[in-house]
Structure 1
Amino acid sequence: MLKTLLAAGFALLGLATAAPASAADPVYTVKPCPADWPTSGRSVECGTLTVDETRGDPATRRIDIAVARVRASDPYRDASGQTLPPVVVFHGGPGGSLVSGVGRRLGVYAAQPDRAGPLAAIDQDWIYFDQRGGGLGNPSMDCPGAQLTDAGPPTDEDAQKLIACLKGYADAGVDLSQYNAAVIAADVADVVKAMDLKQIDLFGGSYGPRIEAAVITHAPQVVRVAVMDSPWPPEGNWAVHTPEQVSTAVRTILGKCAAQAECNARHADLQTRFEANARAWLAGPQTDKDGVAFSVDDLAAFLMDTTYSATGVRNLPADLEKIIAGDLSPVAAIAEDRTYYFEGQHMTHLCKEEIPFESKAALAAGAAGDPVAEVSVSSLSRLFDVCAAIDVGAADPVENQPVRTTIPTLFIAAEIDPGCPPPLTRAAAAHYEGSQVMIVTNATHGVTGQNPCAARAARDFLRDPTKAVDQSCLPAADTPLVFTEN
């Protein structure tokens, strides 16, 4: 999930032109940054990495990957006097983007330096790139008109639109088997080669750590250290058990409300009442006061997006009261915008490295008996239908196995996260020798952007991964969650 991490887009010059003739070596070409990007003294370089779509195939075409490098404003030197390697940043989704949002980041750095945060390309260069198949790259596999959330396609029609979109890209010459984590790991190695770097550090959020894991697996020689925010590990199940994770997030939030006298008085027995309401949604569409009908899949998208969001989590008790009372405006608000991914890129990843290791039967079995979990089953099931209809090549079992490494890694997870919950983080970290783990109370998906203590820990870890990061500034486990009544 990367709705909170996606940036507003605009075209980088030259990326939509025809791909150049095939050549085996990666080529990095510096290009002008958009004229409206503020610099305010920051040195920024924009460019394009051109690589083979299918490595090892002499007949393959070339593809372009958008890159932006923000130079360190105050380079940090370690005890030996050496500067730190650049940090390569990985967007989530899959199907997110980064490069188009760099201009906005630069604006924050210029106008509000105190809010820019300790990770704002101060100590090290930060290299942003749009993973192949999305963002400002060529090709960029967007599927206009097809809605898709982390709870899957909201309707059968959306699933068919995704299938048609992906087949359209394949008919246009895109090799769908070449848009996944393992191939992106090779792109990262090519970034290092083409930009003449010695090593890099890794930083990513959400599905970004899944790509970090692939780099650590397939190109460990280029990595010094890694930081993973709200991590999704390779061994996680994208569809199977996600309904239960959403239900757990809802139960956790409502439990925090029940533990506070004022919130509990306002929302007595809300968990029980919402479970009864969920059963009504499972029985058939619900109609709001204006006569507009919403399906259980719409409720699934609402629950997923809301429990990812810091604002949504704080509004959840009040929003559920509205829904139970027949005011479906919270569901309608989420239904207004469900196209925040590059859907083609999203699905090539899921169909190659996630869905092949899962099943519809296991999805339904895991959720059975919990009405809040069962809400998400039908929309997630459509992912299997989309993947069955497109050809992305055979799945490699290594893409579903835990990573084992000695590369120093800091894991930062949110207490409330329906997609990347703390148990997944702890299990993944157990295979990273010498790793450190932070679980942040009351935080939601995308921790370093919300919690200054976690952001400082990430910066300190990148400076010196041999030291234990300071967790004393984190909120205590019993810190009340502040709710909003709307």
Structure 2
Amino acid sequence: MLKTLLAAGLALLGLAAAAPAAAGDPVYVVKDCPADWPTDVRTVECGTLTVDETRGAADSRRIDIAVVRVRASRPFQDANGQALPPVVVFHGGPGGALVGGVGRRLGFWRDRPDADPMAAIDQDWIYFDQRGGGQSTPSMDCPGVELTDAGLPSAQDAEGLTDCLKRYADQGVQLSQYNAAVIAQDVADLARALGLPKVDLYGGSYGPRIQAAVITHAPQIVRVAVMDSPWPPEGNWAVHTPEQVATAVRIILGKCAAQSECDARHPNLTARFEANAREWLAGPRTGADGKARTVEDLAAFLMDTTYDRQGVRRLPADLEKIIGGDLSPVAAIAEDRTYYFEGQHMAHLCKEELPFESKAALVAGAAGDPIAEVSVPSLSRLFDVCAAIDVGAADPVENAPVHTAIPTLFIAAEIDPGCPPALTRAAAANYRDSQVMIVTNATHGVTGQNACAARAARDFLRDPTKAVDQTCLPAADTPLVFSED
């Protein structure tokens, strides 16, 4: 995978080369950016942060973390005339990536300069691929393994992922060192290497889980944080997720039932889909195309569709197809179930999520609700993988709520099967100077789909002491617009 990134920063180069680094010190080196990235949009600097894989170990090998810094086009100054610190951006997953997509972001900003109010205008934005994935090294991808937020679709995928992780361990990768707590120290080292006394934090989905670790383990470097569709440390990854998916489905179908036209097209849809879900739980279903699909395929469909702003609008029509034997909506989701760096994903879950949960609690929570029970088989396999690999003991602090006075803006979607608004409200209660936005009809990844939320995030970063404007949000009773296409 492409590892080297960009460069237009003699200052950074000078900083990195100013003095010989001691063994174990973080080292930042500027690299060339990909030649096909636009150069007429922002000043962009690419680099690699090199750190110890295992901090404190005398014989630790060194690993590389891919970084891109996009310079602000019009740096904003606060009331004291001070420039704002850079924003460090955290990708979701775990097992996502950011660096490879910066070129596309630059192209988008060039073609639509006013479409993104947070497009590195006020502050520098620093993108990085968290250790273990993306263009960082090692990058623990597991080709051939299918994995989604609904879990592992088959026993073969569980076996393949287990074997993949064991191969990385045999190659010398310390699986215990790829998790939120260690990444928090990477962020602190990045700030140190770049000479940044303070940074702001911004992330979505699992990104806020890493932000929470930075706030816990390196609070001295954080000025403010923005968390979009946040996953807090105290959340249960598998346990209660089936119920959250079922809740999201019922919210959407309830919005359909509340509209006469949608209700007439899809009468009594919730009850009919519950009956259909029971049929899926009894065994594979064969579609009109003659191909069999499993309950795990349906689980992935429900999770991914209720995450997606277009998917929620199509859900009643898609469920009608599924109930009628046309399984094409399920098949479409099944075509793309390899969007994570699977090894990185599981290293996080096995260290800091699943040790605090159990397969028995997963099953018990979903029992009696056929829509929830659909997600149990694929999520159960996550526990099987973790039982077969060694990532070290879990620290209870990584499952505890964060208590802090660092100003934080929480933005959550009304419809979110993975990071529901109730979880956001509970987490925010422990952030003394927090603000919370819950956006009606929005789905996962709010600032990318709601201009009001994006402006609020920018305003908060400018001045976290002011209440963000929520008057531009849709009212709680705003109908959801459905699509039959």
**TM-score, normalized by the shorter chain, greater than 0.5:** yes
Partner SS for 1:113:
coil
Q: CA contact under 8 A between 1:39 and 1:110: conserved in structure 2?
A: no
Matched, 1:295 2:294: yes
1:410 aligns with 2:390: no
Give the Å deviation of 1:39.
2.1
1:354 aligned counterpart, secondary structure: helix
Quote the Cα distance in structure 1 between the aligned partners of 2:80 and 2:5.
42
1:12 maps to amino acid: K
Aligned-pair CA distance for 1:299: 0.3
- The offset of 1:448, in angstroms, is 0.1
Unaligned runs of 5+ in 1: 1-9, 16-20
User: For residues 263-274 of structure 1, what are the structure 2 equivalents within 5 Å?
Assistant: 263-274=262-273
Contact 1:356 1:395 in 2 (8 A): yes
Task: Give the 3-state SS of the residue equivalent to 2:135 in structure 1.
Answer: coil
- CA displacement 1:247-291 (0-9 Å, x = unmatched): 000000000000000000000000000000000000000001121
Structure 2 match to 1:316 = 315
Judged with a 3 Å threshold, the aligned counterparts in structure 2 of structure 1 residues 110 and 247 are, in CA distance, closer, same or farther, namely same
Contact in 1 for aligned 2:5/2:67 (Cα 8 Å): no
Q: What residue identity is the alignment partner of 2:214? A: V
2:2 aligns with: 11
Secondary structure of residue in 1 paired with 2:436: strand
Counterpart of 1:156 in structure 2 is: 155
Distance 2:74 2:197 in 1: 20
Who is 1:6 aligned against? Answer: none
Matched residue of 1:197: which SS? Answer: coil
Query: Are the equivalent residues in 1 in contact too, given 2:236–2:353 (CA < 8 A)?
Result: yes
CA contact (8 A) 1:22 1:60 kept: no
What is the TM-score of this pair, normalised by structure 2?
A: 0.96
Matching residue of 2:171 = 172
**Aligned partner letter, 1:272:** A
Q: In structure 2, the residue corresponding to 1:438 is in which secondary structure?
A: strand
Contact 2:4 2:47 in 1 (8 A): no
In the other structure, the counterpart of 1:464 is 463
Q: Answer yes or no: is the 8 Å Cα contact 1:287–1:326 preserved in 2.
A: yes
The alpha carbon displacement at 1:109 in A equals 1.1
Q: Deviations over 1:105-141 (max 9, x none)?
A: 00011121122x1110000000000000000011000
**Partner of residue 329, structure 1:** 328
Residue pair 2:439, 2:473 contacting (<8 A) in 1 also: yes
Structure 1 counterpart of 2:37, which letter? W
5+ residue gaps, structure 2, are 7-20
Partner of 1:26: 26
CA offset digits 1:159-187 (Å, max 9, x no partner): 00000000000000000000000000000
Distance in 2 (alpha carbons) for counterparts of 1:291 and 1:379: 23
Partner of 1:213: 212
Deviation at 1:41, TM superposition (A): 4.3
| Cα contact 2:415–2:442 (8 A) shared by 1 | yes
Match of residue 136 from structure 1: 135
Q: Secondary structure of 1:291's match?
A: coil
Distance 1:235 1:13 in 2: 36
Tell me which residue corresponds to 2:62: 62
Matching residue of 2:17:
none
For residues 4 and 412 of structure 2, the distance between their equivalents in structure 1, rounded to whole angstroms, comes to: 37
Distance 1:32 1:153, change over 3 A: same
AA at the equivalent of 2:69: R
Residues of 2 paired with 1:209 and 1:14: CA distance?
25
C-alpha separation between the residues in 2 aligned to 1:295 and 1:179?
A: 32
Residue deviations 1:299-345, cap 9 Å, x none? 00000000000011000000000000000000000001100000000
Q: Distance in 1 between matches of 2:254 and 2:289?
A: 32
**RMSD of Structure 2 on Structure 1 (CA):** 1.1
In structure 1, the partner of 2:10 is none
What's the counterpart of residue 18 of structure 2?
A: none
Partner Cα separation in structure 2 for residue 302 and residue 370 of structure 1: 17
| Residue aligned with 1:168, SS | helix
Task: Using the TM superposition, give the Cα deviation of residue 12 of structure 1 relative to its aligned residue in structure 2, in angstroms.
Answer: 3.4
Per the alignment, in what secondary structure is the counterpart of residue 69 of structure 1?
strand
> Does the 8 Å contact 2:45/2:70 carry over to 1?
yes
Rounded to whole Å, the distance in 2 between the matches of 1:197 and 1:73 is 19
CA offset at residue 13 of structure 1? 2.9
Offset, 1:354: 0.4
Tell me the CA shift for residue 14 of structure 1.
Answer: 8.1
What CA distance in whole angstroms lies between the structure 1 residues aligned with 2:73 and 2:421? 34
Deviation at 1:198, TM superposition (A): 1.2
For 1:41 and 1:262, locate their aligned partners in 2 and report how far apart those are by CA, in whole Å: 46
- Partner residue, 1:235: 234
Q: Do 1:12 and 1:33's aligned partners in 2 also have CA atoms closer than 8 Å?
A: no
Distance 2:200 2:407 in 1: 10
What whole-Å deviation, never above 9, does each CA across 1:38-60 have from its counterpart, x for those lacking one? 02141000000000000000101
Moved over 2 A (4+): 12-15
Q: Secondary structure at the match of 2:277?
A: helix
Contact 1:42 1:73 in 2 (8 A): yes
In structure 2, the CA distance between the partners of 1:54 and 1:22, relative to structure 1 (3 Å rule), is farther
Measure the CA separation in 2 of the matches of 1:150 and 1:259.
Answer: 29
Q: Distance in 2 between matches of 1:293 and 1:446?
A: 32
CA distance in 2, matches of 1:290, 1:137: 42
Q: In 2, distance between residues paired with 1:73 and 1:392?
A: 43
Report the equivalent of 2:84. 84
Three-state SS of the structure 2 residue aligned to 1:227 is strand
Distance 1:368 1:12 in 2: 46
CA contact (8 A) 1:229 1:446 kept: yes
TM superposition shift of 1:374? 0.2
SS in structure 2 at match of 1:49: strand
Could you tell me how far apart the structure 1 residues matched to 2:92 and 2:33 are?
Answer: 23
| Displacement of 1:408 | 0.2
SS in 2 for 1:186: helix
Partner Cα distance (1:197, 1:38) in 2:
27
Given that residues 5 and 46 in structure 2 are in contact (C-alpha distance below 8 angstroms), is that contact kept between their aligned partners in structure 1? Answer: no
What does residue 51 of structure 2 align with?
51
Provide Cα deviations, 1:345-403, integer angstroms capped at 9, x if missing partner.
00000000000000011000000000000000010000000000000000000000000
Partner of residue 375, structure 2: 376
Aligned residues: 471
Q: Distance in 2 between matches of 1:198 and 1:103?
A: 28
Distance 1:300 1:41, change over 3 A: closer
Match of 1:453 in 2: 452
The C-alpha deviation readout for 1:52-86, integer Å capped at 9, x for no partner, is 00000010100000000000000000111100000
Gap change, CA 1:14 and 1:227, over 3 Å in 2 = closer
Q: CA deviation at 1:22?
A: 9.2
Any conservation in 1 of the 2:4–2:48 contact (CA below 8 Å)?
no
SS at match of 1:114: coil
- Counterpart in the other structure of 1:110: 110
